[in-house]
A and B are shown apart, each in its own frame.
Chain A
Amino acid sequence: MRIASPEDLDAVRKIGLFKIQPDRPRIAVGLATCGIAAGGNELYDRLGSIIREGGYDIELTKSGCIGFCRQEPIVSVTIPHKPLVLLHHVTSDTAEDVIKGVLQEDIPKNLALCRVKEWDHITGMIQYGEGFETIPDYHEIPFFSNQHKIILRDAGFINPEDITEYIAAGGYSTAFSVLTGRDPDSVIDEVKRSGLRGRGGAGFPTGLKWEITKKAPGSEKFIVCNADEGDPGAYMNRNEMESDPHMLIEGMLIGAYAMGISEGLIYIRAEYPLAIERLRHAIREAKSYGLLGKEIFGTDFSFDIKIAIGAGAFVCGESTALVASIEGKIGRPHPRPPRLTDSGVWGRPTDLNNVETWCNVPVIMAKGAEWYSGTGVRGNSGTKVFSLVGKVDNPGMIEVPLGTSLHRIIYDIGGGGAGGKRVKAVQTGGPSGGCIPERFFNTGVDFESLLTMGSMMGSGGLVVMDEDTDMVDIARYFINFAASESCGKCLPCREGLKHTLLILNRILAGKAGVEDITLLETLADTIQATSLCGLGQTATNPVQTTLKYFREEYDALIVQDLPDGGR
């Protein structure tokens, strides 16, 4: 079926709604990579065989990830006219209890995490029902109540492998009204006014980049989605694609229309097989409904998306290396200019945006720039998804307004240090970021504040460190990562990071003197100032911030009177 009218869209929406809220119980197992790693597939199979053998009238399906990693495997249960209930730590052993509970409309207490009476998909509202008063409400769980879900609005609630469920939650209706009723330039204007900034790390204004690309000479251009996500500890983009792939496709469709571009590419790393599979499936689905391909929604606009798979090099997330990789060349950056907006993929003007940047687009167009910029702080509008990991009590995928303090994220959502330990610092921005000590946790996470702290937003990894963490070792960990991911083209990054690593090893082995610290500082300074691309320019942040905030840990390792200066 090809969707070409509001009536068509409505018909599909009804089909999807009936899947989300069937006239019989529905059990959905959270099956993103994290859920699968926690045993989700076995659980799914076990539930399936119990239902089959018992001949029960229960719908079993998959969902994306709600983000509460600590509680995996997570299962959601909907019984008609009752609240949706999230179950946690469900295993094959407790699968029988789940089925029994669903059949008797009595959810086992020990398995219930919380209930959801109604869910705001922002592009649509779903009412579940009343009841199960003894189970805590969703809003009573601090991990959830302190979040603000815009990008993750569907994650964990819909089946990511079924386009009708995305449409039931209001999906593609924004693209429909944009493509059939809005002037492309006014779309760019709306995105500009929303204040949306790139979520890939640098925070470049998205609307402006679109405008530059549109104005670049030439008729054949590309839009590209950067799904390379290679920082250790970051998995936001993976989860967004695994839990809600159509949100990305809808965002790219609207962007393509605004810029008048008919070819799109998603550059994704091979290490994300499930995300690739779900994207491919979603693209096929979108094509069969006439949402990608020729004459979309019956208009004369055509747009198609292809997937380019990268071999998983961190540097290939850098824009010019990414283009080289797409073209089948070695993934090495080149000096800019030319910028991608002038000469990108195959020399054509190219707009490159991060996965999450694209995911912001449908909701901006659905609710308008004013609504969107009402969230966040001045100059940093909207929300940001973070992966909160490391030594934190509640690790998970979270979403908060930009400007939210680190304190609120780490203590109110994350529950503080794992096992009650004292939190010492947090690393933001992965290998390009820095370590921010606990005394500065009132810092709000926005692009500028993090830079002032010597760190950066990066794509959104937050790695928590507690009192047992050795900060010099942390610096070594990140430098080791950056040195081995360096492409090897320019000297300061290739050789400089190697020597930074050697010096850190010497310090940690107790074989370094004061002059080694001086050399470490001087070298870091030069690498930052002279490297060709962002990898080298930011790679020393972990060293510089730990030197700045945790100098005493370095000093404690220094040998005062080394014979022969330590060498």
Chain B
Amino acid sequence: MDTTGHTVTITINKNQYQAVEGEILLEVARREKIDIPHLCYESSLSPYGACRLCMVEVVTCGKTEMTTACTVRVHRGLEILTDTPDVIRHRKILLELYLAEAPHSDVIKAMAIRYGVTKTRFLKKIVTGDPLLGRCVLCGLCVRVCNEIMGAGAIGFVNRGPYTIVSTPFLEENPACMGCGTCAAVCPTHAIGIEDTGEKRIMRSWSGTPVEMIRCAGCGGYIGPKPVMEYARSRIDPVMAEELQELCPACRRKQVTR
């Protein structure tokens, strides 16, 4: 990253703002409460640029060019327009496409309405038995956190083009899945289903992968997936790992205050 730490002045919609050179434009907009819709951006992940909702216009020497705000890095004199007629027009078509792709997503419906789109002219996807409930928009956040942050790589893209889906390899249960649920936490459309049955956690969206749960050493209640615990232990100081007790938050509080 070419962050140099310099503070620079940039112009968004004719107003001036201070920003750090090299910062992602979308971050600046968020901080300054300038509304730019987006679905696939996450600050802890590398730039991806797939949802195309964050399109803005960059003005250079009087000419404008469309780019995604999540991939533009701030530099001195950067000039941006976020709501030009072109941006609005394309954004509406993209939202219509999303309404057809994820017809069961309330998040998408609400977002579309916010930008003036109430229905789609495109044929809606027919949803039957979709493990992602007709809500997935293929933003790739789940795949990327699983890979880049958790290092598990349990899920990925299957097929390509309009047939692309997110799933486990060969659509089979995947022991590489730790059941951590980070995927579900980042999913913007709440498409990922996780079911806790007691001794097992079932990853409904990931080919029904079962994950073993551990019990609290104090009260005996189920507290979390075993692979996550093992993963955590393997990553900390061995002495501390030894002392780490498997307690639920309530029992831990009791132990600490005792």
Contacts and interface: CB of A to CB of B under 8 A. Distances in A.
Nearest to A526: B93
A483 B161 CA distance: 6
Given A335-B68, A499-B100, A502-B123, A492 B94 contact: yes
Contacts of A483: 161-162
Interface centre among A490, A502, A522 (most CB of B within 10 A): A490
Contacts of A525: 90
Contact of B137 (A486, A487, A491, A522): A491
A526 B53 CA distance: 12
Interface string A326-366: 00001010110000000000000000000000000000000
Interface string A461-493: 000000000000000000000011111111110
Nearest to B98: A491
Interface string B176-217: 000000000000000000000000000000000000000000
B97 A495 contact: yes
A494 interface: yes
B145 to A, nearest CB: 17
B93 A486 contact: no
A544 B48 CA distance: 28
Contacts of A490: 49-52
B156 interface: yes
Contact of A499 (B51, B122, B164): B122
Q: Assign chain A's interface to a size class.
A: 20 to 34
Contact of B138 (A485, A488, A497, A531): A488
A492 B97 contact: yes
Interface SS of chain A: helix
Nearest to A498: B162
B134 interface: no
Contacts of B48: 334-335
Contact of A484 (B66, B138, B161): B161
Given A330-B156, A330-B157, A530-B52, A486 B121 contact: no
Contacts of A502: 122-123
Interface centre among A332, A485, A489, A522 (most CB of B within 10 A): A489
A131 to B, nearest CB: 58
Contacts, number: 91
B160 interface: yes
A37 interface: no
B122 A491 contact: no
B49 A335 contact: yes
Given A335-B49, A492-B52, A526-B90, A487 B160 contact: yes
A313 interface: yes
A330 B100 CA distance: 26
A519 B121 contact: yes
Contacts of A498: 161-162
A200 interface: no
A559 interface: no
A531 B157 contact: no
A529 interface: yes
16 contacts: A484-B161, A486-B162, A488-B157, A488-B161, A488-B162, A488-B163, A488-B164, A489-B140, A491-B52, A494-B161, A495-B122, A496-B93, A522-B93, A529-B55, A530-B94, A532-B49
Given A334-B49, A335-B68, 16 more contacts: A313-B160, A330-B156, A330-B157, A334-B48, A335-B47, A484-B161, A488-B157, A489-B138, A489-B140, A490-B50, A494-B138, A496-B97, A498-B161, A499-B122, A502-B123, A526-B93
